[in-house]
Amino acid sequence: MIVKSKGIVLSYMKYGDTSIIARIFTEDQGYGSYIVNSIRSQKSKKSIGYFQPFTMLDLVLYVKETRDLQRISEFKSHHPLHHIHQDLIKSTITLFLTEVFSKLLQSEQSPNPELYNFAEESIKTFDGLKTRVENFHLQFLLKVGPFLGYAIDDIDNLFSSTDKLAPSHENHGVMDLLMKEPYGYEIKMAREDRASMLDTILEYYEHHAHISKPKSLEVLRSVLN
């Protein structure tokens, strides 16, 4: 059947001589893999740039329930991004988040419109932030939990599932701010504390969602440092 849906690109890999397989989180179908034919061909009328991480697209999909790999018939930009792919810090955070988000979405192969709306609005906000972007990945991973069924709504629950010691009173307050305040809110913390908090969040998801440590973690740390 033919399905029209919005979608958020997470990654892609080359397929054959001219095509790609894109991993996309769609509003109507959930998370899935899609073939995009001839996008790498010299004769292609559209750029592979449409499939950069976090790009938001309007899609026409060919969907067969008996097939794991679906096809994209048509696509166009849904909401252009102006800064995420041009700014080194933002692009590195994006690379890291799309890797972790893809791992968390493995079980989301059915529609989850609330999660989709959260992700779309978060990306739009991130693209527009001019300052205070260094905490975005922490806030995103804390805020996305409830949409995936992981109740990271209490700091003590977060630490009780990891090998980390309970945070100091000061860092407890910082984590609470990261959870509750909007993106871009000024939350001051030392570089070492930011790295430690990210380790705690990742350990939580490793324990509950059984995801592996992201390969892009060291790249993220190198750029933020």
State residue 209's pLDDT score: 87
Which helix (H) or strand (E) segment holds residue 120: the answer is helix 113-128
Q: Where are the beta strands (DSSP E) in 48-108?
A: 56-62, 69-79
State residue 93's pLDDT score: 97
State residue 160's pLDDT score: 62
What is the C-alpha R_g of the chain?
18
State residue 105's pLDDT score: 94
pLDDT tens by residue, the chain, 225 residues: 898 999 999 999 999 899 999 999 999 999 999 999 999 988 888 889 999 999 999 999 988 877 778 899 999 999 999 999 999 999 999 999 999 999 999 877 788 999 999 999 999 999 999 989 999 999 999 999 889 988 666 666 666 656 655 555 566 778 888 988 999 999 888 888 899 889 989 988 998 888 999 999 999 999 988
User: Rounded to an integer, what distance in angstroms lies between the CA atom of residue 46 and that of residue 74?
Assistant: 10
Cα 77 to Cα 21, 45, 49, 128: the distances in Å are: 18, 14, 11, 17
Which helix (H) or strand (E) segment holds residue 178: the answer is helix 169-180
State residue 149's pLDDT score: 86
User: Rounded to an integer, what distance in angstroms lies between the CA atom of residue 191 and that of residue 193?
Assistant: 5
Residue 72: CB partners within 8 Å, gap ≥ 6?
Answer: 22, 34, 35, 36, 59, 60, 61, 62
* DSSP letter, residue 193: H
User: Rounded to an integer, what distance in angstroms lies between the CA atom of residue 201 and that of residue 78?
Assistant: 31
Instruction: Classify domain 2-79 by CATH number.
Output: 2.40.50.140
Site of tokens 């740390």: 221
Task: Kindly list the domain boundaries of the chain, sorted by start residue.
Answer: 2-79, 88-224
